[in-house]
Amino acid sequence: MTEYEIALEIDARGSFCPGPMMELIKMIRQAEVGELLALLSSDEGTRNDVPAWIKKAKHELVEIINLEDHDRYIVKKLH
Amino acid sequence: MKNIVVVGGCFAGITVANKLVRKLRRKDAKVILIEPNEFNIYEPQYVFWGFKKYPQSKFTKPMNKVLSGKVTWLRTVATHIDSVKKQISLSNGETLPYDYLVLATGAKMDEAQVDSYDDDKIHHFYLADATKKLQDALKNFAGGTIVISPSTVPYKCPPAPAEFTFLLDTYLRKNNLRDKTTIKYLYPLMRPYPEARVSEKVQKLFDKRGIEFVEFFNYETVDKENRKVISLEGEEIEYDLLVLIPPHMGHEIIIDSDLGDREGFVRTDRFTLKVKDQENMYAIGDCTDMPISKSGAAAHFSAPALIKNILLEMKGKVPTKKYGGFTVCFVVTSFRRSLLLVFSYNYAPRKFGLHNLFLYGLFKKAFKIVYFKALIKGYL
């Protein structure tokens, strides 16, 4: 497994409101350009939401790591 | 005797202080609340208040009506927390020692970040003065494009922008302005509400009422001159009247005391409500970075775990009581109808329609009474 130097991480497992996507957007706003962020989510909907938003917002989805009961999304802020 | 200090006296701080004095004997602990404001505002009223003028006293109570006489109220501002010396600096120059500390400082509406709320076309409904300004703008509105958007996430009460939009639609219909008005709802996600199933319902209502939804719109800035709101994603939307939910931040005391994340929200364990990497320190409500909605309901349902954990610590035990993320959310869909959502860390929102007008009317009227008579006093 690749080791990443994560600047910010949010555990959004079990978060339905505001939800994992809102937590990711919050992190992107807080982060500096070039920093790596990690989002933990157990919500299956996040698998569609994160790639769609990353594409629209023009950041980089570095990796989705599928773990036993949740996924770990590694995102890089590009601008 | 232990000193338990609560910093912040809005709903979360007051209800925790009231519950604590009920659980503790006076000889065991003194509960002190630090809050400079002498009134408590029932904030859920703001979304309705934007559409109709009436005195703020209808949804405001003086502190002595909601805070137990057994709580020592310091009407001052806490300016710094020294977690090593376990003491709080106050604006009057004094310091206050604590054995246990509860942070309930809430979220600050950082209007300065937008730097446009003085414009007569840009509004919000999260503070009293701003809501009064919005009342005047709506009264004078004769048609055009109204745009509703959050400015940042997180913000208090996630459904509030959608609620405002539904109420606006009803208001415009009543005033024969709906056919002269385009309503655009901008939202950071690909759907109009965070949770997919609830979002389907919201989208159906938007479609039925002709409300335009713009997905993936994350506010970046506003061009006042050309009346355009611009997103992080590069999109530009024109408006005649913009309702922009203000940026939310943690308060200076959290930032200055190095207890928060980069936006000043307290780093809090979402189960025990303990402040991370701190001893004898807890946080509750809108000031935390917990992945739950910033709402009075979430504060209400998480308070028992916090209190139990302080009581355990006072007995020399490990604070093991866990908050399961349970909360309820009341989503207004018109002046007469609403949805009630119930959810926790373990299950997605379950929705219940409160479309019986009698029940809804009863609930709406009763809830403010329940808030002031029971919830804030810590009886429930």
Q: Are B209 and B117 in contact (CB under 8 A)?
A: no
- Strands in B219-223's sheet, in edge-to-edge order, are B219-223, B228-231, B236-238
Tokens 């203000």 belong to residue? B246
Q: What is the 3-state secondary structure (H, E, C) of B55-109?
A: CHHHHEEEHHHHCCCCCEEECCCEEEEECCCCEEEECCCCEEECCEEEECCCCEE
* Confidence label for B369 from pLDDT (cuts 50, 70 and 90): confident
In this prediction, residue B359 carries a pLDDT of: 59
3-state secondary structure string, B185-214? EECCCCCCCCCHHHHHHHHHHHHHHCCEEE
Mean pLDDT of A51-69: 93
Comparison of pLDDT for B233 and B247, the residue scoring more = B247
**Average pLDDT of chain B to the nearest whole number:** 93
Contacts of A45 in chain B (CB under 8 A): 196
**B246-254 mean pLDDT:** 96
> How much is the pLDDT for B346?
86
Q: What is the pLDDT of residue B23?
A: 95
Report the DSSP beta bridge partners of residue B329: B341
pLDDT tops 90 at residue B94 = yes
* Interface touch A57/B153, C-beta < 8 Å: no
Residues on chain B touching A18 (C-beta within 8 angstroms): 153-154, 158, 194, 291, 293
Quick one: pLDDT band at residue A14, thresholds 50, 70, 90?
confident
Chain B residues 117-176 with CB within 8 Å of chain A:
152-154, 158
Q: Which CATH class is domain A6-76?
A: alpha beta
Give every CB contact of residue A36 below 8 A, 6+ residues apart in sequence.
A4, A5, A6, A7, A62, A74, A75, A76
Residue B132 has pLDDT above 90, yes or no: yes
Say how far apart CA B91 and CA B361 lie, in whole Å: 44
Whether the per-residue pLDDT at B216 is higher than 80: the answer is yes
| Side-chain-side CA neighbours of residue B273 (13 Å) | 32
Residue of B nearest to A14 (CA): B345
Structure tokens at B370: 């329940």
Q: Is the entire prediction scored with pTM above 0.90?
A: yes
- The single residue of A3, A5, A17, A69 carrying the catalytic annotation is A17
B216 in contact with chain A, both atoms CB, cutoff 8 A: yes
> Kindly report the CA angle at B355 between B373 and B126, in degrees rounded to 5?
55
Its sign, for the CA torsion B4, B8, B12, B18, is positive
Confirm or reject contact between B217 and chain A (CB < 8 A). Answer: no
Whether the predicted pLDDT of B115 surpasses 90? no
Q: What is the mean pLDDT of residues B96-113?
A: 97
Contact B273, B324 (CB under 8 A): no
Kindly provide the ipTM of the predicted complex, given to two decimals. Answer: 0.81
Distance from the Cα of B152 to chain A's closest Cα (Å) equals 8
Q: How many residues does chain B have?
A: 380
Q: Is the sign of the CA dihedral B23, B322, B302, A8 positive or negative?
A: positive
| Cβ proximity of B299 and B11 under 8 Å | yes
> Is 80 exceeded by the pLDDT of residue B364?
no
Checking if the pLDDT of B66 tops 60, the result is: yes
The count of other CB atoms within 10 Å of the CB of residue A58 is: 11
Query: pLDDT by residue (tens digit) across B146-183?
Result: 999 999 888 999 889 999 999 999 999 999 999 999 99
Cα B193 → chain centroid: 17
Q: Shortest Cα distance from A15 to chain B (angstroms)?
A: 6
Q: Do the first three CATH levels of B2-107+250-326 and B111-248 match, i.e. the same topology? A: yes
Cα-Cα-Cα-Cα dihedral sign, residues B288, B290, B294, B297: negative
| Alpha helices, DSSP H, located in B63-146 | 63-66, 111-114, 128-140
**Domain-by-domain residue ranges, chain B?**
2-107+250-326, 111-248
Q: How sure is the predictor about B363, in pLDDT bands with cuts at 50, 70 and 90?
A: low
What is the assigned CATH class of domain B2-107+250-326? alpha beta
**CATH top-level class for B111-248?**
alpha beta
**Chain A partners of B345 at a C-beta cutoff of 8 Å?**
13-15
Which of B114, B190, B198 would best serve as a mutation to test chain A binding (most A beta carbons within 10 A)? B190
Residue of B225, B258, B222, B264 whose CA lies nearest to B243: B222
pLDDT > 90: percent of chain B:
80
pLDDT in tens, B314-359: 999 999 999 999 998 888 887 777 778 888 998 887 766 655 555 5
The single residue listed with the structure tokens 């840009």 is B122
Give dist(CA B151, CA A26) in Å, integer. 11
- Active-site residue flag, A17: yes
**8 Å CB contact of B344 and A30:** no
Cβ contact A22–B196 (<8 Å): no
Q: Do B341 and A17 touch (CB under 8 A)?
A: yes
